[in-house]
Amino acid sequence: MKYKGWLLPPALRDFHEGRIWLKNHTPFHEDDIKRAIERNYFYIKEGIQTIPQIKCNRCQNEEPQQFTHFECSKCQKTCVYCRHCLNMGRISCCTTLLIWRGPQTYKQKQHQFEWAGQFTPLQQQASDEMLESVKRQRNHLVHAVCGAGKTEILFQSVHYALEKGLRVCIATPRTDVVLELFPRFQAVFPKTNIHALYGGAPKQEGYARLVMATTHQLYRFQHAFDLIIVDEADAFPYTFDQTLQTAVQKAKKPESPIIFVTATPSQKLLQQHKRSGYSFIPKRYHNHPLPVPRYSSLWRYENSLNKGKIPLKLQRWIEDRLTRQEPFLIFLPKVALMDIVTPLFQIIHPDILAVHAEDTDRKEKVLKLRNEEIPGLLTTTILERGITIKNVQVAVVGAESSIFTASALIQIAGRVGRNQAYADGDVVFFHHGITVEMDEARATIERSNKEGFPR
């Protein structure tokens, strides 16, 4: 006799648990999905809801401009789809989303923890405070200056949560940050299945107790996590795109806490957390003050650059770096300006390179600077955070431009002096007029130094 029953493939459960996934994009066999639906293992939700108002049930987009109506050959009527999350597979009114509600994966509670690093007293305190918040299930903000050693502070709380059998997500707006954090966490939790999710990430097997993801990827989760840590919570586009913030809320279980980690929290974030879970680390792990930016006027720099001349002060600054053999980053406000000035800088030194957001060689160029193969790099704000280069010196040209907000400037200044052996360095804001943002950035850095090193 032939066996006619059906056994739930574990891979199907492992994949779908916690996810909200397009039915026609599931990687599993149609027949298995059908059987699972028959057993009521899936909650099925329409892709686009139209009542009371139009909304994409995956990315939570409600902006009418982001929806397109068309005559659909599949459902034979006027259909509508969401353009906001199109890249993840189109959601239209004739598609459905699957949400797992079947049996759950076995909760693995043994997690090897391999970290032998040393905390500074301030790191220890922040780590303990965060753990306390996790235990009490309340939100927490870790406000730590650039180079304070934020990542290490997370280990204790993540370990605690994993041993409790909880599912943890570390989310960040930037793919670069996911790529940097993933190997560090895998080293600390060598036996834990960790997934790194970002646009274009390879397929990863099994059920991940720890997920590192870009905030975009959280569109694809629903009530999945018992703890979410949002790293670099103030980075573009997270603060800018409301749907990403909604995505974080949707991806966690309703009662689960969120931990925000950043060097430059917004006023809103500060106000929300100052009275509850809040840790502040005003100084760097190596116990040296933050380099304070200095101002240098560069009147009508744009005119002279457009005429093919590098202003004398800027030229001197670069020549200084070259003779002292210090690697440098020069931040520029616009790609268009960068295109004009790159050849000018290359007259001073032919190996100076330029990098911007759409540059496919971004990683290689940064690596070249780190390996001292090139003397310096011209960049847009894309390198404002996440990169560490030994003894790097920084100049912002056109610091008065609106793109250089106080938090961007603080992050940029935070690139300097991160290494114990080179704890100081030059941060110069070349400007055509001083802005409030510049003053705010400098005042914030000075305030942190005052708190970190009281007289």
Partner 1 sequence: MNKNETHCLLCTQPLQLITSWKALLTKQFPPSICEKCLARFERNTSHESTSLYRYNEAMKDFLHQYKFLQDVALAKVFRQELHTHLKHEKATIIPIPMHPEKQKERTFSHMDELLKSAKIPYIQLLEKTTTETQSSKNREERLQTPPLFRLLPDIRVEYKEYLLFDDIQTTGTTLQHATQLLLGAGAENVRIFTLISG
Residue pair 161/216 in contact by the 8 Å Cβ criterion: no
Largest CA distance in the chain: 90
Binding mask 47-66 for partner 1 (x = CB under 8 A): ------------------x-
Shortest Å distance, C-beta 72 to partner 1 = 5
Candidate list 87, 204, 287, 303; residue touching partner 1; CB under 8 A: 87
d(CA 269, CA 150): 17
Shortest Å distance, C-beta 163 to partner 1 = 42
Binding mask 91-120 for partner 1 (x = CB under 8 A): -x-x--------------------------
Q: Does 74 bind partner 1 (CB under 8 A)?
A: yes
Candidate list 25, 39, 69, 294; residue touching partner 1; CB under 8 A: 69
Q: How far apart are the first and last CA of the chain?
A: 86
- HSE of 441, CA atoms in CB hemisphere, 13 A: 28
Query: Which CB sits closer to partner 1, 154 or 247?
Result: 247
How far lies 249's CA from each of 53, 114, 245, 254, 276, in Å? 20, 31, 7, 8, 19
Shortest Å distance, C-beta 77 to partner 1 = 11
Shortest Å distance, C-beta 212 to partner 1 = 26
Number of residues that bind partner 1 (CB under 8 A): 18
Shortest Å distance, C-beta 253 to partner 1 = 31
Of 74-82, 193-201, 301-309, 406-414, the segment contacting partner 1 by CB under 8 A is 74-82
Residue pair 453/424 in contact by the 8 Å Cβ criterion: no
Query: Which CB sits closer to partner 1, 92 or 444?
Result: 92
- Crossing angle of helices 335-348 and 312-324, in 10° steps, is 60
Q: Does 68 bind partner 1 (CB under 8 A)?
A: yes
Q: Does 72 bind partner 1 (CB under 8 A)?
A: yes
Q: Does 309 bind partner 1 (CB under 8 A)?
A: no
d(CA 114, CA 108): 17
Shortest Å distance, C-beta 402 to partner 1 = 15
Query: Which CB sits closer to partner 1, 94 or 292?
Result: 94
Give the residues across from 260 on adjacent strands: 141, 230
Q: Does 83 bind partner 1 (CB under 8 A)?
A: yes
- Crossing angle of helices 150-163 and 121-135, in 10° steps, is 30
- Within 252-355, residue ranges assigned H as helices are 267-273, 301-306, 312-324, 335-348
Q: Does 335 bind partner 1 (CB under 8 A)?
A: no
Q: Does 79 bind partner 1 (CB under 8 A)?
A: yes
Candidate list 13, 55, 90, 164; residue touching partner 1; CB under 8 A: 90
Token pair 């090897």: residue? 112
Q: Does 86 bind partner 1 (CB under 8 A)?
A: yes
Residue pair 278/140 in contact by the 8 Å Cβ criterion: yes
Of 84-92, 271-279, 343-351, 368-376, the segment contacting partner 1 by CB under 8 A is 84-92
- Crossing angle of helices 436-452 and 406-413, in 10° steps, is 50
How far lies 111's CA from each of 27, 99, 165, 168, in Å? 29, 28, 10, 13
Query: Which CB sits closer to partner 1, 89 or 206?
Result: 89
Q: Output DSSP code: residue 236.
A: T
Please state whether 165 falls in left (phi above 0), alpha (psi between -120 and 50) or beta. Answer: left
Q: Collapsing DSSP states into helix, strand and coil, what is residue 309?
A: coil
Of 90-98, 117-125, 251-259, 360-368, the segment contacting partner 1 by CB under 8 A is 90-98
Query: Which CB sits closer to partner 1, 78 or 287?
Result: 78
Of 73-81, 120-128, 255-263, 339-347, the segment contacting partner 1 by CB under 8 A is 73-81
Q: Does 253 bind partner 1 (CB under 8 A)?
A: no
| Residues that bind partner 1 in the complex, under the rule CB under 8 A | 65, 68-75, 79, 81, 83, 86-87, 89-90, 92, 94
